[in-house]
Amino acid sequence: MDMQIEGIEIRNYRVFKHASLTSLPRLTVLVGENGCGKSTLFDVFSFLKDALTQNVAKAVSKRGGFRELISRGEKGPIGISLKFRETGGRLATYELSVAQKGGAAVVDREVLKFRRGQHGKPWHFVNFSRGHGTAVTNEAMYGKPGATQQRKEYVLDEPTVLAIKGLGQFREFRVVSEFRNLIENWHISDFHIADARPSAEEGYAEHLSTRGDNVAQVAQFLWEHHRDRFAKILEAMKRRVPGVDSVEAKPTEDGRLVLRFQDGAFKDPFIARYVSDGTIKMFAYLVLLNDPKPFPLLAIEEPENQLYPELLPELGEEFRDYARRGGQVFVSTHSPDFLNGLGLEEIYWLGKQDGFTTIHKTSENRLLKSLVAEGDLPGSLWKQGLFRNARST
């Protein structure tokens, strides 16, 4: 079983004064009017990554400082809580809250705990506040019959560093390292067509970068080491984009790598610089989604841009497939066609009330459920304004 985030609760983070997403499926799609918090949710993922790989002070100052980041009118702390299922199948919660102390952001509280199981009390693996706290010293005993937790006090070098990073012994502890790994490796896509067009330095890349500027290298990697995946990409390109019969990543004499798109109607291929926006975008998505080792969490904003509407339900299926192969996918969209390819349980509707986000699970709305059961499609129900009444969570 792969690790999966099942719930997210956010407090005082910009437009999220208090919002939560529960029972998250492997593919989660966010829809809602401009300014309702879709990009902000993705930024919460980036924030955690910055906090872990750097520290909370840097993560906060990168976002304009504490006063800008905190929900308007609130004092704090800023809180993010993630419920996740680790690969052993147990449910754990990670809570981080960030406060301001003398002008700098510090960890107000950091807790990693398992839910109360059959074996008595939940263990608090990490329980820290402002650089001081306790951690379990016999992690490996968790879940063993009769085991009780042994704790020790620690002081971290800095109150801005996360204990799950700063405490050496957790490097050996599977659940903490899994969790850290999840955060460090999540991929918040920021694809720019202009970056994917030029020829790239020759080199080696297995995974598409956030901006997509190494797409030629990854295509070459797939062609060389995962021919079956590459064949799937080509087959999909041929079927979806008229005039694309084959694509190859070709080294040039001056040591660069160029993507070449072959149209059967002409003798010479077109290099990436001269094919259409949608062609590049579809190819980049296929390269990303056919990654033999999916990112544990992939977030993509508005995948519909530049793509022909009819292709979107199939793209949705590909996101789902990617998630099934071991990742978890979050997508934001403004496209009814994309929504039409989804189930209600995959769709969360974001609204805004008195300046702050409210999150609604469309699958909890009886009317929506019965209409979909009768054959209505989610995208058309959304366009009719019916998501607005979905129940708040």
The dihedrals phi and psi of 361, each to the nearest 5 degrees, come to: -95, 115
Residues 36 and 358: their CA atoms lie apart, in Å, by 8
The torsion of the CA quartet 272, 273, 276, 279, rounded to 10 degrees, works out to 20
- 25, 37, 212, 296: which one binds ligand ATP (CB under 6 A): 37
Q: Is 353 in the site for ligand ATP (CB under 6 A)?
A: no
Under the criterion CB under 6 A, does residue 203 sit at the interface with ligand ATP?
Answer: no
Show Cβ contacts of residue 105 under 8 Å, excluding neighbours closer than 6 positions: 56, 57, 59, 60, 61, 66, 98, 99, 160
Q: Which stretch binds Mg ion (CB under 5 A): 22-30, 33-41, 107-115, 240-248?
A: 33-41
Q: Which is nearer to Mg ion, 190 or 245 (CB)?
A: 190
Interacting span for ligand ATP (CB under 6 A) from 36-44, 144-152, 174-182, 227-235: 36-44
Binding flag, residue 15, ligand ATP (CB under 6 A): yes
Residue 77: name its binding partner from Mg ion, ligand ATP, none (Cβ under 5 to 8 Å by kind): none
Q: Which amino acid is it at 192?
A: H
The count of residues interacting with Mg ion (CB under 5 A) is 2
With binding defined as CB under 6 A, does residue 14 bind ligand ATP?
yes
Site for ligand ATP (CB under 6 A): which residue of 10, 31, 32, 316? 32
Q: Which does 117 bind (CB under 5 to 8 A by kind): Mg ion, ligand ATP, none?
A: none
Residue 15 touches which member of ligand ATP, Mg ion, none, C-beta under 5-8 Å by kind: ligand ATP
Site membership for ligand ATP, residue 81 (CB under 6 A): no
Of 284, 325, 331, 335, nearest in space to 305 by CA: 335
Pairing relationship of beta strands 78-85 and 91-101 according to DSSP bridges = antiparallel
* Sheet containing strand 329-333, strands side by side: 187-188, 298-301, 329-333, 27-32, 347-353, 356-361
| Structure-token match 């490996």, residue found | 140
By CB under 6 A, residue 71 contacts ligand ATP: yes
Answer for which of 36, 215, 244, 287 binds ligand ATP (CB under 6 A) is: 36
Q: Does residue 294 interact with ligand ATP by CB under 6 A?
A: no
User: Could you give the residue ranges of the DSSP H alpha helices within 290-362?
Assistant: 312-324, 336-340
Alpha helix ranges (H) inside the chain: 38-53, 56-61, 66-69, 163-166, 174-184, 193-196, 215-225, 227-240, 277-289, 312-324, 336-340, 366-373, 378-383
8 A C-beta contact, residue 247 and residue 230: no
Q: Residue 360 interacts with ligand ATP (CB under 6 A)?
A: no
Interface of this chain with Mg ion, residues 35 to 54, rule: CB under 5 A: 38-39
Interface pick for ligand ATP out of 1, 34, 89, 310 (rule CB under 6 A)? 34
Q: What angle is formed at CA 12 by the lines to CA 353 and CA 50, rounded to 5 degrees?
A: 125
- Quick one: which of 26, 38, 207, 281 contacts ligand ATP (CB under 6 A)? 38
Crossing angle of helices 174-184 and 38-53, in 10° steps, is 120
Question: With CB under 6 A as the contact rule, which of the stretches 37-45, 146-154, 227-235, 379-387 interacts with ligand ATP?
Answer: 37-45
- Closer by beta carbon to Mg ion, 35 or else 309: 35
Residues that bind ligand ATP (CB under 6 A): 14-15, 32, 34-40, 70-72
Site of interaction with Mg ion (CB under 5 A):
38-39
